[in-house]
Structure 1
Amino acid sequence: MSLSETGNVSGRVQAKREISSTVAGRPTPGAPGGRKLSTNPADTRDVVAEVALGDVETFVSACRAAREAQSAWARVPAPVRSQVIKRAGRVVEANKEALARLLTREVGKPYAESLGEVQEIVDTCDFFTSEGRRLYGQTVPSEMPDKQLFTFRVPVGVAAIITAGNFPVAVPSWYLVPALVCGNAVVFKPADYAPALGDALASLLRAGGLPDGVLNVVHAGGEQTFSGLEAALEAGLVDKVGFTGSTAVGREIGALCGRHLQSPCLELGGKNPLVVTERARVDLAVEGALFSGFGTAGQRCTSLGTAIVHESVHDEFLEKLTCAVEVAPIGDPTEDVLYGPMLDRKFARSFEGFLEDLIEPHHSVSGSTATGRITPENPREGFVGEAERGLFYHPTIVSGLRQEDPLYSTETFGPLVGVMRYGSFDEAVDLANGHGYGLSAAIYTEDPAEAFRFRERVSAGMVSVNNSTSGAEAHLPFGGNARSGNGSRQSGVWVLDQFTRWQSVNWDYAGKLQKAQMDVSDLPADGDFRLRC
C-alpha cells in the first residue's frame, strides 16, 4: 500500500488530482459548494489539488451515513476495533515519507517537522491499539445484599470532527483514532487549506479495514460547515463535536452545542508565556524560545507568545535571542530551515494586520532584520530559496511590552515573539496568567522550588520546565482552559471521556424488590459494637 503525493492510496504518484468529500465509502458527485485550489504556500504557482466542495446537505448526508454505520461498528468487540487501528498505524508508518512530503508541500512545514508530525499519528495508533483492551468499567459494592453494581463505557455515537491545518494530520488523529476505537462513527472536516492531507489521512486509516460509513470526510467552506453542523444537530445526527481552531469560532461552536445540551471538545488558541528566571540557564532558554516562538512560523496553538524575563537577565536573553533569530535559516521547507512559509494567504493577511496594529511607539523591534513579507524589495540575508514564490515573513521580536498592550493578550499566529521584563516571582506569575489564555506555559529555572511554585499557580493546562511551550506526546493529556478551551483533553487515556459515556447497571438477584436508600439495614447501636480478637 503506497500513498501518492496528493493523498490517494495507490501505486503511483500524481502531480495533481481532484478531491471530493467521501460519504459511506464513495466520493460525492459534483461540487455544490464550488471549487477551490489547494496550492503550495512555499510556491503558490504549484497547485497541489483541486477540491470539489460540499454544502450543507453534504455534511448532513455524511452524518446520516455515519449514524447508519455506527451501531454495527459499536457491536464489533473493542479489541477487534483496536486491531483495525493497529493495521492503520502500520499503513501510515509504511507511507511516512510520502505523507511527510505532502505535508511539506501543502502547508509548507519543514520536512523534519513533517516527519515528526506523521510519527505522532503512528504513536497515537500504537497507544490506542492497547486501549481497545482497556476500556475498563468498575464493579462497585452495593449497599444492599444480593445486588451487584457495574459501570461500562459506551460510545457516544456520531462524532463530528473539525480541525485546523497547522497540524493537519497529527491533531485529527488525536480525535479520529480514539473515537473509532471507542466504537463511534466519524464525520471529519479537514481545514480548507489542507484538503489533500485530510483526504490522505482518511485513506490511510480506512486502509486498516474500517467499514464504509464509519469514517466520512467532508470538504466544505466555513459557513457551509457551520450550517451543516447546525442542521445535523437539529436532526439528531451528531452526538459529539470536536473542534481545533480559533477561540472566536470555538465560542460559536460551543454555543451551538450548548443549545443541544452537548459538551464539545474544544482545543483553541493560546498566548503562551515562557518565564526566564534569574536562576535560568539563559542559553537553554534562548534555544527553547527560538523553537517555540518561530517553529512552524509561529503558527502553532502552543507557540510562544511572550517571553517574561527577570530584569537581571533580560538584556542578555534579548541580545542572545536576537542573534539566534538573525542567523536562523528561513525559507524553502524542503531544506534544513527553522521555518518556511505561512500556511495560507488568510493567515499572511492577518499577520500583516497584527504587525501594523499591535506594534506601538513604546515598543522596540530587535535586530537588524526587517518586518513583514520577505520579498526582493524587503529581503532577508541568508534566505534559503526564492522568497518571491511563497508566503514568507520575517521573524520579529518586540520588546518593551506592557500588560495593558493589546500585543500582550492577542494571539498573532505568526513569527512574532514579545519580550517583557519582571521583578518579583509574583509578578511573573501574574504576567503568565493575565492574558486570558490557558493552554501552555514554560519556565526556565534551576531552582526546583521555583518550578513547583510556578506549576501550582499558572493557569495553563500544560506546563514545561526547562523546555519549550511546544511539544506533545501521544500518552499525555493535551488541552487548555479559559480562552484556550473548555477544559476537555485530548491524547492519552483522558480523551476516552470525550468519546465514551458512562453507563451504570444494577443487577439485583435477591428475588424481591429492594429500594435503594429505603431498604438499607439499620446499623447496630454504638454500644453493641465489640472488638473480638
Structure 2
Amino acid sequence: MAASRVSWAFDSPSNRGTRESSSTVGRIAFGTGHILPGAGPRDQSRDRAPSRTIVPVGEQATTKVVSSLISGRPAPDAPGGTLIVPNPARLDEVVAEARLGDATTFVDACRAAREAQPAWARTPAPVRGRAIQQLGRLVEDNAETLARILTREIGKPIAEARGSVKEVVDTCNFFVSEGRRLYGMTVPSELPDKQLFTFRNPVGVAAIVTAGNFPVAVPSWYLVPALLCGNAVVWKPAEYAPSTSEALAQLFLHAGFPEGVFHLVLADGPTTFEGLSQALGDGLVDKVGFTGSTEVGRRIGELCGRHLQSPCLELGGKNPLVVMPDADLDLAVEGALFSGFGTAGQRCTSLGTVIVHERIHHDFLGRFTRAVERAPIGDPFADVLYGPMMSARFCDRFLGWLDRVQPHHRLSGSTGTGRITRANPREGFVGDPEAGLYCHPTVVDGVTMDDDLYKQETFGPIVGVATFSTFDEAMGLANGHGYGLSSSIYTRDPLNVFRFREAISAGMVSVNNSTSGAEAHLPFGGNGRSGNGSRQSGVWVLDQFTRWQAMNWDYSGRLQKAQMDVAEVPADPSFRLAE
C-alpha cells in the first residue's frame, strides 16, 4: 500500500469552517459547507463543490449514528458537535452521523487505558496473540460488509476496499505468531557466575491518530502490534470516515481484548491536538503514532519532544518513478497508471513525478496518455480505476493544485480538467458525474525542479512528467523535493537497480513495480519530509511499541565489577615463527 495519508491538519481553516464549536451543539454537513439547523453561522469561503441538500427524509433510516467508544461503551453526548458525512459518490446519500468528542473525551479515554494496561501487560504474550488471531478471523468473516461500508463512505473502488480489508487480515496473521516470538536474548557476561538478559517491555499507552484514505489497513499497522506487545491503545481515526472506523472498532471489541485496553475517540483535528497535549502533560500517553500530513507531523514531533518522547510518524510523499531507456515501456505505463491514479491519487505512496529518459520520453508519454484517457473512472462499486475524491475538502484542495499549472506545462490524460460534470465531461465516465465529487485525471508534462507541482505533495489525480539525460540528473529529480517515502525504477539492468537503491532517499524501493503496494511483513515508512525514520509493519514495528530492558544476574556471592574484575588472558606477543 499502503499507506496513505491525507493532509490532516489540527488547525486547518477548512476544518474550522466545517464544524461547529464545542460550545454550540448543532449539526453540520461535512464536506458541503451546509450547516444544519442549530449550528450557527456559515462560512462560504470554501464552497467550491456544488451545494446539495444532504439529509433527505427518505435517507434518514439508512444513516448510521456513531460515537466514541470508551471502554466499549458509546459516548452519551457530542460535546464536539455532530458531523453529517455524505457518500462522496452520491452526495444526496448520508452515510453517517458522527457524534464528536472533545479534548476531555480524549483524556478520559487515555486515563481509562492507563488503568487497564498493567493487567493486559501481565497477560502472557501468546495469549495476547490469541486475541489477535480472533480479530483476524472476525475481520475475515465480515470482510465484504466492511469493504462495502468503506467504499460507501470514502469512495474507494470496491476492489481496492477489499484489498484494504485483506491487509488487516494479513497483519493479524503475521502478528499471531509474534506473540510467541517477542524474543529477548541471553547474552554472555565477561564475568564468571553472571548472566545477562534482554527483555521487550510494552511502552504503556499508545495514542494512535490515522488518516481516512486507508481507514482500516493503516490503523491495523499500529493497533495490532501495539496490543500484541501489551499496550493499551486510544485510536483517533479521521473524522470523515467515522462509519468505517466504528465498524472496525466493533470487531476489535468482539475479539477478546479485556475492557479498557482499546478505545475509539471521534473528534476533529484541533480538538485531538488539545486532548493529546493534556494527556501527555498528565503522563497518560507513552507513545504517539501518527499518519497524516508533513505539516501536522512536525507539530506532533514538537509536542512529543517536549515530553522526551519519539513519535512514530508516517507522513506525506512525492514519490518518483524513474523510467530508464532499457525499460519495458508497457509495464512502466501500467505501473505509473496505478501508482498515480489509483484511489484518485489519494495515497501517501501515490506517484508524484515520472522521471523519463529523454530518449524514450515521447514514446512513454504517448503510451501513458492513451492509458490514462482510456481508464474507466466513476462509480466505485463498478470496475473502475478510481472513484470520487473522499470529500469536498479534498476535492477543493486538489482543484487548488491545478492553479499551479504553468505556461510551460503540457496537459493530457482526459477530455477536461478539474471537476467532471455534464458540462465538463469525461469520455467513458461510469455513472452520473453530477452525483459525486469526481475529478479528471491530469498528466502534466514538462515539470521541473522549480515547479510547485514538483516540490509539494498534490494528493489527487495528477501526475507530473519530467525528463533526464544522465543517471545523476534522474537521482537529483528523485530526491530534490525532500520527501523520502516510496520510489520506483523501471529497468532491465541490475546495475541501474543497485545504483538507484543506493542513491534514493526513500524508505521503500520498487523495481519494475508501482510506488504503491505494501505487504504486512515488510517495513513501511519514510525519511525526510515523509517521516522520522520510524517503521511500521513486520518485526520492525515492534521497536515502536516495546522498550528494551537489560538485566544482569550475578550469582557469584561477591561484588564483581565490570571492566575492573575481568580475567586476563596471558599471551606471548614476542613470539615469531622460524623460517
- Please indicate, yes or no, whether the TM-score normalized by the shorter chain is above 0.5: yes
Percentage of identical aligned residues: 70
Displacement of 1:521 in angstroms is 2.5
Q: Does residue 407 of the first structure (1) align with residue 453 of the second (2)?
A: yes
Structure 1 segments of 4+ aligned residues over 4 angstroms from their partners: 527-531
Displacement of 1:344 in angstroms is 1.4
- Retained in 1: the 8 A contact 2:226–2:232? yes
SS at match of 1:526: coil
Displacement of 1:529 in angstroms is 9.3
Structure 2 unaligned spans of 5+: 1-60
User: Could you tell me which residue of structure 1 aligns to residue 207 of structure 2?
Assistant: 160
Q: Does residue 350 of the first structure (1) align with residue 397 of the second (2)?
A: yes
Q: Does residue 426 of the first structure (1) align with residue 477 of the second (2)?
A: no
Give the Cα separation in 2 of the matches to 1:223 and 1:177: 26
* Equivalent of 1:334 in 366, 369, 381: 381
Greater shift in the superposed pair: 492-501 or 377-386: 377-386
Displacement of 1:25 in angstroms is 1.8
- Retained in 1: the 8 A contact 2:72–2:253? no
Give the Cα separation in 2 of the matches to 1:133 and 1:345: 46
User: Could you tell me which residue of structure 1 aligns to residue 151 of structure 2?
Assistant: 104
Q: Does residue 201 of the first structure (1) align with residue 232 of the second (2)?
A: no
Displacement of 1:343 in angstroms is 0.8
Give the Cα separation in 2 of the matches to 1:516 and 1:197: 56
Displacement of 1:16 in angstroms is 2.1
- Residue deviations 1:441-462, cap 9 Å, x none? 0000011111111111111100
* Equivalent of 1:393 in 425, 439, 447: 439
Q: Does residue 500 of the first structure (1) align with residue 551 of the second (2)?
A: no
Displacement of 1:522 in angstroms is 3.1
Displacement of 1:526 in angstroms is 3.4
Query: Kindly tell me: are residues 300 and 511 of structure 1, through their superposed partners in 2, closer, same or farther at Cα, counting changes over 3 Å?
Result: same
Displacement of 1:527 in angstroms is 5.1
Give the Cα separation in 1 of the matches to 2:573 and 2:445: 74
Structure 1 unaligned spans of 5+: 1-13
Displacement of 1:530 in angstroms is 12
Give the Cα separation in 2 of the matches to 1:402 and 1:333: 34
Give matches, 1:486-525, under 5 Å. Answer: 486-525=532-571
SS at match of 2:190: coil
Give the Cα separation in 2 of the matches to 1:530 and 1:69: 68
Q: Does residue 89 of the first structure (1) align with residue 164 of the second (2)?
A: no
Q: Which amino acid aligns with 2:70?
A: V
Displacement of 1:384 in angstroms is 0.6
User: Could you tell me which residue of structure 1 aligns to residue 292 of structure 2?
Assistant: 245
Q: Which amino acid aligns with 1:504?
A: A
Give matches, 1:118-517, under 5 Å. Answer: 118-356=165-403, 358-517=404-563
Displacement of 1:15 in angstroms is 2.2
- Residue deviations 1:123-157, cap 9 Å, x none? 00000000000000001111111100000000000
Q: Which amino acid aligns with 1:296?
A: T
Displacement of 1:208 in angstroms is 1.1
- Retained in 1: the 8 A contact 2:414–2:427? no
* Equivalent of 2:106 in 42, 48, 59: 59
Displacement of 1:525 in angstroms is 4.6
Number of equivalences? 517
Give the Cα separation in 2 of the matches to 1:292 and 1:77: 42
Query: Kindly tell me: are residues 368 and 146 of structure 1, through their superposed partners in 2, closer, same or farther at Cα, counting changes over 3 Å?
Result: closer
Give the Cα separation in 2 of the matches to 1:510 and 1:407: 67
Query: Kindly tell me: are residues 337 and 368 of structure 1, through their superposed partners in 2, closer, same or farther at Cα, counting changes over 3 Å?
Result: closer
Q: Does residue 42 of the first structure (1) align with residue 98 of the second (2)?
A: no
Give the Cα separation in 1 of the matches to 2:172 and 2:85: 28
Q: Which amino acid aligns with 1:251?
A: R
Q: Which amino acid aligns with 1:312?
A: R
Give the Cα separation in 1 of the matches to 2:299 and 2:572: 58
Q: Which amino acid aligns with 1:127?
A: F
Give the Cα separation in 2 of the matches to 1:467 and 1:109: 21
RMSD (Å) for aligned C-alpha atoms = 1.3
- Residue deviations 1:63-90, cap 9 Å, x none? 0000001000001100000000101100
Q: Which amino acid aligns with 2:495?
A: A
Displacement of 1:523 in angstroms is 3.4
Greater shift in the superposed pair: 296-305 or 378-387: 378-387
Greater shift in the superposed pair: 21-30 or 248-257: 21-30
Q: Which amino acid aligns with 1:515?
A: K
Q: Which amino acid aligns with 2:465?
A: V
